Amino acid sequence: MRNERVWRLIKTYGGHQVPYAELSAPAQLAIAHYMAIDGEAWGLPEWAADPSVSVKTLQRRLSEMLPYFRAHHGKLPFGYVEIPMHALEATMMQDQDIGRDFPDFKSYHRWFARSAGRMARHVTRSPWPVILDTSNPEETLQDGSHRLHRYHDLGFKTVPAVYYLPRVRYH
């Protein structure tokens, strides 16, 4: 399937293809975290693959693993785009669950901030991109909702985003 709403955002705001190794470090970290720590699509370096290593340790030492990920996945193409906050919020309001349950993004944001508990304090000088969902027409984001809401609180005008390209095998 294809998420036409997300692809329109990507096209409108100049999304482009970049090899993993050439993405910014924050973009590489966001992808590596999603692919190797949150999921199991990418393997980990030998020391990190030990079951006794906690997720907290993996998260804390993720930047140390970037050379490993670059060596193993550096040529894989990803998409990158910077989207105005207002455009991303408007697109998210078209998500099936969000649009049905909330009259506007402000209401959704208030609910999310309350229900998410303590909002993560993501780095603001080098923000991690959100990961757009290019294949599920019911969702705008595949990962990064907490980041997006934090960036909203901080008044970001644009949101960095990465996305998977069709017909590329990322495992």
- CA-CA distance, 116 to 144, in Å (whole number)? 13
Q: Which value, in Å, is the radius of gyration of the alpha carbons in the chain?
A: 16
- CA-CA distance, 164 to 75, in Å (whole number)? 13
- Taking CA atoms, 92 is separated from 40, 99, 162, in Å, by 27, 8, 16
171 — pLDDT class (breaks 50, 70, 90): confident
**β-bridge mates for residue 160, sequence order:** 82
Q: What is the mean pLDDT of the segment spanning 107-129? A: 83
Q: What percent of the chain has pLDDT over 70?
A: 96
Could you read off the pLDDT of 26-58 as tens digits, one per residue? 999 999 999 999 998 999 999 998 999 999 999
Stated as kind and residue range, the H or E segment containing 9 is: helix 4-12
Q: What is the mean pLDDT of the segment spanning 166-170? A: 92
Q: What is the mean pLDDT of the segment spanning 78-88? A: 98
Position 120 scores a pLDDT of 66
Count of other CB atoms within 10 angstroms of residue 23: 21
Position 116 scores a pLDDT of 80
Q: What is the mean pLDDT of the segment spanning 21-29? A: 97
Position 122 scores a pLDDT of 65
Give residue 169's identity as a one-letter amino acid code. Answer: R
- CA-CA distance, 14 to 32, in Å (whole number)? 23
Q: Are 118 and 87 in contact (CB under 8 A)?
A: no
Give residue 50's identity as a one-letter amino acid code. Answer: D
Domain ranges of the chain: 4-163
Position 123 scores a pLDDT of 67
